[in-house]
Structure 1
């Protein structure tokens, strides 16, 4: 007991007992050092804000900083390219599967013909991007800004008869959100997004043009757009989160400091490479008229006439030590914060073998599949599919039920000679299906099946012997494939 406890216990044993019991209970509860307040945790910030309130008022600032880093910092641009290339690559491909049959016939042909609306620049309101290019831009914008909006624009078939379906889409940045609107009726509007009584998004208040354009064609004004005409693509990290933050947010400070460190090292190298010849003349010697010219800015290889009475003091720049190790550690932190491998970010393959390269790719591939499923397929592709079906309904196309399968891009194999036999063994052992394995490699099973049947028919018509696969089961497998093709 401290002196106060002893004094309280002397005058009131009951009050002293309560103090001791409370103190003992507090000691039992406070077992987490991180929750303590003291020298070791000084400067730690831990506000109890909600998921969206954590970035409230700072999203525009973080977006601008992120964009500037991608423009001017090579590792930020590299991180974006790695994420986009692995998540989207050549594109997440849609394929039609008719329900209740093999999907062969006029119905599937009609759906595939309408699907060309997505696979051509007709889908873009600007007439520039097809579905695959949009996927890359969407993922790139989510990385840089944390979120992107895709707006549906309905079209009149009489004015746009070339369109297969009566709508187009436009990709717009989060800058279009009107931050000045505070409410709409009884609904709350926060940073341009309108929330209903349940907290769900009901509408978006969007400017008619980008507020940061060089020159606006008309006065800025905002319009309320219903949520069904907007796809809001962003990454969710917390429960109840409805807004996104730039992908670079956790590593911005580290990236900025690494960039400053690199610039300082480059300047130090330039100073170390500065070698000049300085000539000091005697007092009685005849000096040139321009003696001393060039002392203000010494250049490598310069010859400078030093005036009498002036003696040079050369700087001795320190030797650069530990640069590689420091940069490796720093870029490793950035790579971890972005969810990609160090080798992919830095392009440094020193000391990498098959095992280490595969282990690094395994962790990265898990994250990539999460982003593909949650971001691109779950939000963008499914949203485009919903609009596609609604477009067919508006056009009045009476088609049977069908399913659209979305196949991610082909995963680059670290060592195909080892990984492909392992996949074959999984299929033969019943641990995986052939079509699932094909989809994991970024290939469409229906397309492969049709092309293999065509190859067999064409080879048979040309009198060629069937290709014998490894494993000694050529006759049975080729006979089965020929029967399927016929």
Structure 2
């Protein structure tokens, strides 16, 4: 401490202690250049908000901006389609776990009738595989999506195999005007109990942006218990309950790239123009340009004495390709995708293609397991198990419903299949695990192999091997 610090500490201990603490904190901050305040860090924002507080007040605008970008910006659409296409693909398929194979097949018939038809959708449009695609699209665009279970009366809906349907709702349905319900706190439409656990969602019956004759009647939210809801979103920070659009980190970049593209297109249009300017003659007479309206290739146009023609010099367009390549790489990195997934495959071979997919595949696997399967598919599976005992005519309920992600495209099938077989043979992994990694259900494969073996055995003994092979190909 300096002499002044000691003097202040002797006269006013509290004030002196604050001075010493402030000086010590300042010295600590100065050890990190990024934490300093000055010209280089001017404009940097570093609020100490929680995960949900960071998006409070701006979440709605972010959603609207994200939707507009997906409507009008090709790169945003491409990013969404690549993520959904890799995470969901043709669909994450359900399967049952039961001791008796016959019971398992009967239970799978129930799942096929209810989940793999439009009966599962409250709007009667998609099966569960189509709903998965809509869920992933909405999570990417809005950052989150709500899934509501709609219980049905079997007397009114006798065609339903299981007495429930699911309805997908955008986050706009949340009533963000409420602050409490009884003793519970309500934040942005979500009701939290004393322990911080979600107890209910307060939802509008219709989308606030919907049009129609009922729009003028006003909206009044209703309380829906949390057990009737699934809230699908990517969780990046502890305590995070709401999601943000995946385009949020790159929205500024996307907007500026679009502006740059528009400017370059206009520049290209100008560059494609070729005009002629005719200087006035020596007597000051100006050419009115009318004869040039009929100018044809190879035409010879007469000019008055003293007049000369000067062609225009349109601007050239340089550096566009290099700039756009770097911009697309920035967008790809912000979304966790590879640059090649945006369609530029120039100079890509097996090795570079494989290396480019490694990190992207890891992200896709995380989104499949922690987002789609853990949150959406498992939630729907639990609702299936809860509804099963309510229908007496159904076969035995499955012990567990598992979900298998779709088959991943192979870059070089002979090499990759051989490597997978070597892993199984050496004991590094099991056959079932490898089958699931490749997008196949081990139970389905085992059943089909038994059926193939039984079919081969049923063939007459005098059937030649070539005939058997021909029959197998025909089947």
* TM beyond 0.5: yes
Q: Partners in 2 of 1:30 and 1:45 — Cα distance?
A: 18
Q: What is the rounded CA distance, in whole Å, between the counterparts of 1:409 and 1:51 in structure 2?
A: 32
Question: Which residue of 1 is the match for residue 67 of structure 2?
Answer: 67
5+ residue gaps in structure 1? 295-300, 469-486
Give 1:258 deviation, angstroms.
0.9
1:422 maps to 419
The answer to whether residue 333 in structure 2 is matched with residue 333 in structure 1 is: no
Aligned mate of 1:191, from 169, 188, 192: 188
- CA-CA distance at 1:358 after TM superposition: 0.5
Correspondence for 2:207 among 204, 207, 210: 210
Q: d(CA) in 1 for partners of 2:200 and 2:311?
A: 67
TM, length-normalised to structure 1: 0.84
Q: Shift in Å at residue 292 of structure 1?
A: 10
The answer to whether the 8 Å contact 1:194/1:202 transfers is yes
Deviations 1:399-431 (A, max 9, x none): 355121110010111111211111110000000
Q: CA deviation at 1:191?
A: 1.6
1:339-378 equivalent positions in 2, closer than 5 A = 339-345=336-342, 347-378=343-374
How far residue 439 of structure 1 moved from its aligned partner, in angstroms, is: 0.7
Cα separation, partners in 2 of 1:398 and 1:455, compared to 1, 3 Å: closer
1:472 corresponds to: none
Aligned to 1:52, the other structure's residue is in SS state helix
Distance 1:455 1:353, change over 3 A: same
Partner SS for 2:322: helix
Shift of 1:326: 1.2
Deviation at 1:434, TM superposition (A): 0.9
Deviations 1:89-142 (A, max 9, x none): 0000001120xx3x322x324422321211110011111110000000000000
Out of 189-198 and 45-54, give the one that drifted further: 189-198
Confirm or deny that 1:266 pairs with 2:265.
Answer: yes
In the aligned structure 2, how far is the partner of 1:67 from the partner of 1:419?
A: 39
1:104 partnered with 2:101: yes
Partner secondary structure for residue 114 of structure 2? coil
After TM superposition, list the pairs within 5 Å mapping 1:67-216 onto structure 2: 67-98=67-98, 101=99, 103-105=100-102, 107-115=103-111, 116-216=113-213
- 1:247 partner SS: coil
Aligned to 1:465: 465
Matched residue SS, 1:217: helix
| Corresponding residue pairs, total | 451
Structure 2 spans left out of the alignment, 5+ residues: 469-475
CA contact (8 A) 2:278 2:307 kept: no
Q: Which shows bigger deviation, 384-393 or 137-146?
A: 384-393
Report the counterpart of residue 387 of structure 1 in structure 2: 383
Q: Per the alignment, in what secondary structure is the counterpart of residue 224 of structure 1?
A: strand
Is the 2:164–2:387 Cα contact (8 Å) retained in structure 1?
yes
User: For 2:191 and 2:309, how far apart are their aligned partners in 1?
Assistant: 69
Structure 2 CA distance for partners of 1:318 and 1:226, relative to 1, 3 Å: same
2:55 corresponds to 1:55: yes
Change (3 A) 1:193 1:466: farther
SS of alignment partner, residue 387 of structure 1: helix
Note if contact 1:121-1:129 (Cα within 8 Å) is conserved in structure 2. Answer: yes
* Aligned-residue offset at 1:320: 2.1
Normalising by structure 2, we get a TM-score of 0.86
Q: Which one of 441, 453, 458 corresponds to residue 456 of structure 1?
A: 453
- Work out whether residues 438 and 445 of structure 1, in 8 Å CA contact, stay in contact via their aligned partners in 2: yes
2:251 aligned with 1:255: no
1:383: how far off? 0.6
Indicate the larger mover: 62-71 or 18-27.
18-27
What CA RMSD, in Å, does the superposition of the two structures yield over aligned residues? 3.5
Alpha-carbon separation, structure 2, partners of 1:72 and 1:151? 30
Contact 2:145–2:232 (8 Å) recurs in 1: yes
Show CA shifts across 1:286-345 (max 9, x none). 977x85999xxxxxx9x9999999999976444322211111111111101101101102
What is the alpha-carbon distance in structure 1 between the residues aligned to residue 22 and residue 114 of structure 2? Answer: 71
State the Cα distance separating 1:284 from its structure 2 match.
9.7
Displacement, 1:277?
Answer: 4.0
Shift of 1:38: 1.4
Query: How many angstroms apart in 2 are the aligned matches of 1:449 and 1:63?
Result: 45
Moved more, 351-360 or 55-64: 351-360
Secondary structure in structure 1 of the residue aligned to 2:214:
coil
